Amino acid sequence: MDKKKGEIDIRILDEVDSIRVEIEDNGKGISAKDLPQIFERFYRTDASRNSSQGGSGIGLSIVKKIIEDHGGYIWATSKEGEGTCMHFVLRKYMEAEQPAKEA
């Protein structure tokens, strides 16, 4: 895989009562050891801890909180050397029908 040609694919799937979003890249991926912890507050993988460009480790925990506050859930799948896919599901919001106003 030519890593100079990084790609990000975004898919939006309309399901019966929810919308599922998948955001996938062809980057270096996340190790199986690190994957279960990536949504924990301040968690940083070994690679990001040793990188001058590593973040604080709070971003994905904020994303998870926002999605859960809206009744959804999030998870990730990844293969080292192939890329990562973030998946999240949000329930659809349906406005209640308003009774007709009398004239």
- 40 assigned to some structural domain: yes
Q: What is the pLDDT of residue 36?
A: 87
pTM higher than 0.85: no
Q: Which residues contact 30 (CB under 8 A, 6 or more apart)?
A: 38, 45, 76, 78, 80, 84
Number of folded domains that form the chain: 1
Q: Are 71 and 53 in contact (CB under 8 A)?
A: no
Range of the domain at 22: 8-91
Tens of pLDDT, residue by residue over 6-64, are 999 999 999 999 999 999 999 999 999 988 888 888 777 655 444 555 555 568 889 99
CATH number at residue 49: 3.30.565.10
Q: Are 20 and 13 in contact (CB under 8 A)?
A: yes
Between 103 and 102, residue with greater pLDDT: 102
- 3 assigned to some structural domain: no
